[in-house]
Structure 1
Amino acid sequence: MSVVSTDEGVRWSRYVAVGDSFTEGLWDSPDGRAPADPTAPLRGWADVLAARLSARRVAAGGAPLEYANLAIRGRLLRPILRDQVPAALGLEPDLVSLIGGGNDILRPAADVDRLARDLEAAVARLRAAGVDVLLGTGVDTVDSGLLRATRSRVATYNTHIWSIAHRHGAHVLDLWGMRSLRDWRMWADDRIHLTTQGHARVAQAALVALGLPPDEERWDDPLAPQPPTPRLDRLRGDARWAREHVYPWATRRLHGRSSGDTRTPKRPAAAPVTSEEG
C-alpha cells in the first residue's frame, strides 16, 4: 500500500473501523430518514473521518483512502475483539479504530479491569502487525440521569485506555473531554447515540486525536445556551425515554438478545472513499 506524506500527516492508505453502534453510526442517517427506520442508511463519525482523510490524500496527490467498517450495534467487547479484529487484520490496514466496551459497562457487574486486559491484548496484536490504532474513551455521563451510575466505571476504563495508548503508541479519541457532547442536542432520543451533528463533532475530534488539524477551528465549541426545560416536560420526557428505549433494551437483555443479532457489517470490504460520502 502506498503511503502519502504531507504537511498534515495524512499517511494512511487503508482504514478499518471496528466496534459497536457508536462506530456503526447510529443514528446518523445521511438521507434524513428517522432514526427508528430500520432501512435507513447509516453514516457516522468513522465514515466522515474516512472521507476527510481521503479528501486530504487526494488533495496531496495520492489515491483515495480505502475504508471498511466492520462495526455492529449491540456488540460486547469480547465479540468485537474475537470477530472483528482478526477480520480487520485480514484487510491489511495501516489504521484501525478500535472502540468498544460501552455495552459491557452498561451492565452493573462489568469487570472493567478484564475489559482493559482484553483490549490491550488486541492493541498489542495490531501494533505488532504495524497498524496504527485509534482508541476512544467513554463519554462523561455526569449529566445523564440514570446513566450517571456508570460514571465511575467509565472513568476507570478511560484511565486504562490512556495507559494502554501510552504503552503501545496508540492514538486516543477523547470523548470524555469534549465540551460539545455535554449538550443533549448532540444526542438522539435514546440518549445513548449521537445525532448527525454529534457524529460530525466526533469526526473532528478524531482528526485531532490522529495529530491532524480539524476542518473547523471551533469544532468543539458548545452550542448557544437554551432556556431550561420545565420540570413537568422533563418528567414526561424521562417517562417516554424509559418506555420507548429503556424497556426494549432491558427486555432484549432478559431474553439474551442484542439489537445487532441479525446484522452484518455495513461495509465489510475496504473500498475507496469518495468525497460525497463525508
Structure 2
Amino acid sequence: MPPSPMADPTSVVRFAVLGDSLSEGVGDRVDGAWRGWAALLAEGIGGPAQRVEFRNLAVSGAQSQEVAERQAPEAVAFRPDLASVVVGVNDTLRHTFDIARLARRLDRVCADLTASGAVLLTACLPDPGRMLGLPAPLARPLARRQKAVNALVHAVSDRYDAVHLHLADPRWTDDRSLWSADRLHPGERGHRAIAARFHVLLAARGLAHGRPPSPEPEQPPPTRAEAVLWLATAGTGWVARRCHDLLPQLVRLAGSELRHWAGGTAARLDRRAEHALSAALTAVSLDVPVATMGE
C-alpha cells in the first residue's frame, strides 16, 4: 500500500465532511454563515507546507438516505484523505426510522469511503429527547432509538478503524456552556471543543500536523434575549417542520410507553429495540454486545 499523502509534509490533504446540521456548523455563525467544528478542524490538519482542500457536503436536516445517495458519491469522487461521517439523529426523529436500513446505508458509505483511501471520522451523539428536556414518556422512545444508533456507530467505527469521538458522554452533554440556544446544536464553544478533541485523536495517529483549534470563542455568547428570539423564530420553525412528521408517531410511542409502564412490561420495549439492533448488525455482518445499547 502506498504511503498516505498526509505523511508527506508538502502534500495536498483532502478532507470531506458528510452529515447533517451538526457537521454543517449550525450554532457557530461567522459573518452570516455557518462555520462549525469541521472547518475549525481543517485549519489544524495540515503542516506548514501542506495545503488542505476542505469540502463540506453536510446539509441541515439530512438523514442517512441523503448521505448515502447524494453526499457519499460526491465525497468518493473527491478522493478524500479524511472523511467525517456523522449522521443518524434526524433518522431517529422520523416516523420512518428503521435501524436495519440505517445500518445498511452507514456501512455502505463507510465501505466506499474507506475503499477510496479515506480515514474515517465518526461520532456517537446524545439523544435529542434528553437534550430538549422532554417528559419521560416522550423522551424514552427517542433515547431508545439514539442508543441503538450509537451502538451501530460503535460497530461500524470498529470495522473501519475510524477515529471515533464519544459525544454522548455526560461530561459533554451536561456542560450547557457548550450548547446553543436550541439545546440541540453546539454553540461556538461546543464546535471548538469537538474540533479540538478530533485534533487530539488525529494527532495521535500522525494525521494532524498543524496547531490545534483554540478552545476559546471569538464571538460573544448569545444574550438571553437573543436566545429567546431564536427560539421564538427559527426554533419554532424547526419544531414545526418536524411536528407534522414526528409528532403523531411520537404521541403513539408515548402512549405505548405509558401502557407498558402501567402494566409493568416496559422492559419489553427495550428488548424489542435490542433485538432489532441485533438483527440489523447481523444483516451487515457486524457484531456488538447488546450491552452497548446502554452507552
In our comparison, the structure showing a higher alpha carbon Rg is 2
Number of residues of Structure 1 aligned to a counterpart in Structure 2 = 221
C-alpha deviations, 1:192-236, integer Å up to 9, x for none? Answer: 11111111111112223435489489x7xxxxxxxxxxxxxxxx9
The whole-number CA distance in structure 2 between the counterparts of 1:14 and 1:189 is: 33
What is the SS of the residue equivalent to 1:13? strand
Alignment pair present for 1:249 and 2:241: yes
Residues 174 and 192 from structure 1, CA distance in 2 versus in 1: closer, same or farther, beyond 3 angstroms? same
The whole-number CA distance in structure 2 between the counterparts of 1:249 and 1:173 is: 29
Alignment pair present for 1:168 and 2:160: yes
Residues 15 and 245 from structure 1, CA distance in 2 versus in 1: closer, same or farther, beyond 3 angstroms? same
Alignment pair present for 1:3 and 2:5: yes
Q: Identity of paired residues, percent?
A: 30
Runs of 4+ displaced beyond 3 Å: 9-12, 140-144, 211-217, 239-243, 250-254
Q: Unaligned 5+ residue runs, structure 2?
A: 216-227, 247-295
| Equivalent residue, structure 1, for 2:60 | 73
Residues 25 and 115 from structure 1, CA distance in 2 versus in 1: closer, same or farther, beyond 3 angstroms? same
> RMSD of the TM alignment (CA)?
3.3
Equivalent in 107, 110, 123 of residue 136 of structure 1:
123
The whole-number CA distance in structure 2 between the counterparts of 1:207 and 1:159 is: 23
| Equivalent residue, structure 1, for 2:252 | none
Equivalent runs, 1:90-169 vs 2, <5 Å: 90-140=77-127, 142=130, 144-146=132-134, 148-149=139-140, 150-169=142-161
Equivalent in 51, 57, 60 of residue 43 of structure 2:
51
Residues 52 and 182 from structure 1, CA distance in 2 versus in 1: closer, same or farther, beyond 3 angstroms? same
TM-score for the superposition, normalised by structure 2: 0.65
C-alpha deviations, 1:233-252, integer Å up to 9, x for none? Answer: xxx99x96997256423356
Preserved CA contact (<8 Å) 2:18 2:58: yes
Residues 14 and 108 from structure 1, CA distance in 2 versus in 1: closer, same or farther, beyond 3 angstroms? same
| Equivalent residue, structure 1, for 2:20 | 20
Alignment pair present for 1:204 and 2:201: no
Preserved CA contact (<8 Å) 2:163 2:202: yes
C-alpha deviations, 1:25-73, integer Å up to 9, x for none? Answer: 0021123xxxxxxxx211000000101113xx11xxx322111111111
C-alpha deviations, 1:180-203, integer Å up to 9, x for none? Answer: 332233222222111111111111
Select the structure that is richer in helix. Answer: 2
TM-score for the superposition, normalised by structure 1: 0.69
What is the SS of the residue equivalent to 1:71? coil
Preserved CA contact (<8 Å) 2:126 2:167: yes
The whole-number CA distance in structure 2 between the counterparts of 1:242 and 1:42 is: 15
Equivalent in 174, 199, 217 of residue 182 of structure 1:
174
Preserved CA contact (<8 Å) 1:186 1:197: yes
Preserved CA contact (<8 Å) 1:75 1:103: yes
The whole-number CA distance in structure 1 between the counterparts of 2:119 and 2:13 is: 11
